[in-house]
Amino acid sequence: MMKYILASASPRRKELLTQAGFVFEVIPSSIEEKITKKAPAEIVMELASQKANDIFCRYGTKDCVVIGADTIVVYRDELLGKPKDKAEAYDMLSMLADRTHQVYTGVSLVISKKGRVHTRTFYEATDVTFCPVSKEDLHTYVETGDPLDKAGAYGIQGPFAIHVKCINGDYNNVVGLPVCRLYQELLTEYPSPLSEP
């Protein structure tokens, strides 16, 4: 089978790939991320590409696919990464409450196939709308510590899900990896991405 390498330490991306049926190795990239782009879509693709290329250069093999990914939350052109502390997490969530924001995930695939190496990079964007959230509920959630390792200070698949009114787009994209788009991109490379010899 084709060797897949996930260049991310995200437990959510690991879980999504596993659920989708991929057999893969996790080798997180520790490269220092450098942002030179301005548009959210270009930023996540740039960062995903940096991660994928870093791991491919160090661990890539003759026939493999290295998967790099990066997710950001955007509200009115403001980029919201992982909060540095609970206070920042509270401020982020207060700003997003009762409003619609966007989640962008960039994915970069470095593909080594029959002696040829090339890259496919893409992104998905999903609109997420929160219900109004009381200060008490915000404080309760922040105190769990759950927001601290998540872009935008929340996880849609966790306890904050009770405040998500609706989404428009790929749910898994909000979790951290648009697995449907990923699979469709791989289909252009391999007739059977999960069983390619």
Residues annotated as catalytic (active site), given as ranges = 70
Q: What is d(CA 174, CA 180) in angstroms, rounded to the nearest whole number?
A: 13
Residue 31 to residues 101, 137, 177: CA-CA distances in angstroms? 28, 36, 20
Question: What are the backbone angles phi and psi of residue 133, rounded to the nearest 5°?
Answer: -130, 125
Furthest CA-CA distance within the chain: 57
Q: What is d(CA 143, CA 116) in angstroms, rounded to the nearest whole number?
A: 49
DSSP 31-93: PPP-----SHHHHHHHHHHHHHHHHHHHH--SSEEEEEEEEEEEETTEEE---SSHHHHHHHH
